[in-house]
Copies of this chain bind each other. A is one copy, B any other.
């Protein structure tokens, strides 16, 4: 495994990490979850990503149980939670968002579900237009000072808001956010490459990117018509279908087709190629992989072995732009 610093921070995360999104507490059972974490850990993965909103907290419960049963050393791995969407099917107004109340109570709930005494990373899962950034920054700082959170960050926040959070933190001697969790893949590049461009050096921002496979599109398995044993067969089907066939969906599918064919020509699994491409960006601290089977996970971890020449990478760029 390769390790990278979380932005300018001292935290070393594995370049490939493992996330509970979509699968834990939903598609897969507890045994499979434990096997996936065991396999990831054995291959050097040290960051396990989660959120209160994944399967309404059930993803955290399953992960906490699995890690406890496996007996992973607490200082050897990192675990995250994210606050915003709530862990209830129908949250009351105070059970979601970034108010001090919810940020604090969601942290306590996540600690309990994950069975740990501190979260290594704690993300604001989205910006909350109904809470002043200052309130959230103060709440996060309190959790850091109380030792309940080590690093806090944001997910899918506009660059300007991240800057504002830093400014407030500096002015009041509070902990600024350390990282962002943006979507990043061959089909979704602007935020990471353009919007956040100045923030990496300026704020030392780390990026723990999600969906390196564009929800599976870049594996090529959806090309044949969206059937079979894949994510599209489950509840998120509708959302994924929308992504795939929406407004600009046709052009997107054409790019995916070209990418998959190129990968085959280069003798690399499309998924591995797509993940390896993400890691070429030095601002990516880690790419979060999802998986519902150990075999699938191991295959994707193989992205670390992909070695192409510059001319080949340029071809990848060419067909996906």
Contacts and interface: CB of A to CB of B under 8 A. Distances in A.
B105 A74 contact: yes
A131 B7 CA distance: 10
Contacts of A144: 142
A294 B97 CA distance: 32
A48 to B, nearest CB: 12
Nearest to A106: B75
A173 B172 contact: yes
Given A46-B93, A75-B105, A100 B173 contact: no
A120 B145 contact: no
A11 B172 contact: no
A183 interface: no
Interface stretch (A132-140, A219-227, A259-267): A132-140
Nearest to A118: B104
Copies of this protein in the assembly total 4
| Chain A residues touching B, range | 35 or more
Nearest to A175: B138
A204 interface: yes
A102 interface: yes
Interface string A221-253: 000000000000000000000000000000000
Interface in A139-172: 142, 144-147, 150-151, 172
B132 A92 contact: no
B151 A100 contact: yes
A128 B8 CA distance: 13
A110 B295 CA distance: 39
A128 to B, nearest CB: 6
A73 B46 contact: no
Contact of A100 (B5, B10, B101, B136): B10
Contacts of A95: 73, 75-76
A93 B138 contact: no
A77 interface: yes
A78 B92 contact: no
A94 interface: yes
B75 A8 contact: no
B94 A12 contact: yes
Contacts of A151: 100-101
A147 B151 CA distance: 18
Interface string A85-111: 000100011110111111011100100
A109 B138 CA distance: 26
Given A102-B75, A104-B150, A151-B100, A10 B132 contact: yes
Contacts of A14: 93
A202 interface: no
3 tightest CB-CB pairs across the interface, nearest first? A10-B131, A10-B99, A12-B93
7 contacts: A10-B100, A10-B128, A11-B99, A12-B97, A101-B120, A138-B175, A142-B145
Interface of A: 3, 5, 8-12, 14, 46, 73-78, 88, 92-95, 97-102, 104-106, 109, 118, 120, 128, 130-132, 135-136, 138, 142, 144-147, 150-151, 172-173, 175, 204
